[in-house]
């Protein structure tokens, strides 16, 4: 079983979107039993709901939004998860500050699994419009597909 934590800042749009996509794509590939996915935020306030625009974009593409509430990354997460994927460089830096040096090897950017895109950051769509959420979902889908396709290469 591979345990993956997806991390953004507030845990109300990017990381919950990535978690929903990852769960469903793994399941569609018949690999759902081998993976667990969760999401958290580096600056999350516990209990916030998924952004309505994120939910709408997920539903438009046939993804089931998770019915969880936001939560912050914890020290236990750094031990429990095999791979911790930040949505952008700023959140990766925050994770590196929080994590003990021995856990740094499990910290990566989600889009490091989609090098053909030519970008590493999934931008924060929160202060933008619906098109920003659609672009974010495109990037997340590419990153998750790359992760699932290269599941053994990151373990080195």
Selecting among 28, 121, 124, 129, the annotated active-site residue is 124
Residue written as tokens 């580096």?
A: 42
Does the active-site annotation cover 124?
yes
Selecting among 13, 14, 19, 88, the annotated active-site residue is 14
Selecting among 8, 23, 38, 108, the annotated active-site residue is 8
Does the active-site annotation cover 31?
no
User: Cα(69)–Cα(98) distance, rounded to whole angstroms?
Assistant: 22
Q: Following DSSP, what letter does each residue of 26-69 receive, concatenated?
A: HHHTT-GGGEEEEEEETTPPTTPPPPHHHHHHHHHTT-------
Annotated catalytic sites, by residue?
A: 8, 14, 124
């Amino acid at each position: 079983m591979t345990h993956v934590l997806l991390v953004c800042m507030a845990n109300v749009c990017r990381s919950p979107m990535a978690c929903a996509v990852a769960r469903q794509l793994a399941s569609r590939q018949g690999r759902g039993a081998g993976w667990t996915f969760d999401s958290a935020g580096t600056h999350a306030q516990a209990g916030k709901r998924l952004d309505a625009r994120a939910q709408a974009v997920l539903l438009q593409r046939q993804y089931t939004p998770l019915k969880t509430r936001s939560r912050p990354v914890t020290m236990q997460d750094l031990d429990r998860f095999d791979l911790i994927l930040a949505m952008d460089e700023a959140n990766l830096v925050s994770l590196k500050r929080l994590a003990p040096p021995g856990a740094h090897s499990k910290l990566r950017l989600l889009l490091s699994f989609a090098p053909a895109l030519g970008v590493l950051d999934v931008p924060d769509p929160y202060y933008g419009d619906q098109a920003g959420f659609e672009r974010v979902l495109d990037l997340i889908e590419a990153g998750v597909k790359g992760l699932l396709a290269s599941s053994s290469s990151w373990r080195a």
